[in-house]
Amino acid sequence: MKKSLIVLAALGAFAGVASAQSSVTLFGVVDLSVNSIKNGNTTVKRMDNNQLNSNRLGFRGTEDLGGGMSAGFWLEGAMANDTGNPSGLSFTRRSTVSLSGNFGEVRMGRDYTVNFSTMAGTDAYGANGMATPANLYALGVAQLGTGAATTVRANNMVGYFTPSNLGGFYGVLQVAAGEATDTNKFQGGRLGYGAGPLDVSVAYSQTGEGTKFKDTTIGGSYNFGVAKLYAFYDQKKAGSNKYVTYSLSAGVPLGQGEFRVAYAKGNRSGGTAAQNASDAKLFGAEYIYNLSKRTALYAQYGQLKNEGASNLSVVLTETTAAGTKSTGYGAGIRHSF
């Protein structure tokens, strides 16, 4: 009898919390592939996460406050399903709370920066896989030696997002407190227009004080129906040192699937002659077959050629010997829920 009362009390408490919410959603992505990666002269057969989409487990929800206003939260953590390690499920992918209304949205917490959002949105690969230009700009910026921790996300962020009823125009303003860490202090903004088949935007940000890390991104996409074309230009700068990424990619629908192809180049300048010779070129192709709206099979290939001291790899988290080539191919499955 006591156990029944405890269960009923717990269910009643949960129902009370649930009724206060307009919606609460558990969501995630599980992506795993089998690959062969050759960095320089070393070839490894392995399993990798995040090659089509980034693995994640998250919770998001909204509460209707009335008068056209709502409150929301978003907690999203990474996981490595080849080993089962959830990385502590620390919600480092995104951790925000927000207030929305006719005025737009004010969002606070750890979130994507305006430059990364622009690049990922104008990349057919969505910043994942062996041929995504993220393999260039995410690690290539390390050559600038700034130590900036805001290439993809920023902590302690306050962001404002314009409402969606501006005739296709949109904008974002972001400010992140450094909290005594100069490489975390961030300010940025983005302006764009997206309507029908066209979406174009420009983003600018700076991190730190003194010798600031500055990032300028211009990107766009156009859907021709038979294919969707993506392109962006990104310049990361610290003092006179620059790392520029050029990217051109496309997605072509094929029945239940899609074929993707990409080319990107990373160009270093403003440093010594040896540093300026540290460029990289990336090419790749990918085919995705959708078994359902949630489950897809895919196969991909990527090749990255380094020059000078550049040591980048077709695997985002790795490097290879300076001036060598990195190639990879593999196949995998992705399920979202």
pLDDT, tens digit, 9 for 90 and up, residues 84-111: 775 556 899 999 999 999 999 999 999 9
What's the burial of 232, exposed, middle or buried (CB within 10 Å: 0-12/13-18/19+)?
buried
Q: What is the residue whose two structure tokens read 């009362």?
A: 5
Closest CA to 270 of 329, 211, 196: 211
- Residue 19 scores a pLDDT above 90: no
The helix (H) or strand (E) run that includes residue 58 is: strand 56-66
Helix, strand or coil, per DSSP, at residue 116: helix
Contact 250, 225 (CB under 8 A): no
Neighbour tally for 140: CB within 10 Å = 25
The whole-chain average pLDDT of the chain stands at 92
Contact 302, 263 (CB under 8 A): no
Cα 231-203-181 angle, rounded to 5 deg: 125
pLDDT, tens digit, 9 for 90 and up, residues 28-58: 999 999 999 999 999 999 999 999 999 999 9
- CATH 3.40.50.300 given to domain 37-336: no
Question: CA-CA distance, 198 to 193, in Å (whole number)?
Answer: 8
Residues in a beta bridge with 249? 230, 262
pLDDT, tens digit, 9 for 90 and up, residues 158-207: 999 999 999 999 999 999 999 999 999 999 999 999 999 999 999 999 99
Q: Where are the domains of the chain?
A: 37-336
Closest CA to 93 of 58, 120, 118: 58
Is 0.85 surpassed by the pTM of this model? yes
pLDDT, tens digit, 9 for 90 and up, residues 214-248: 999 999 999 999 999 999 999 999 999 999 999 99
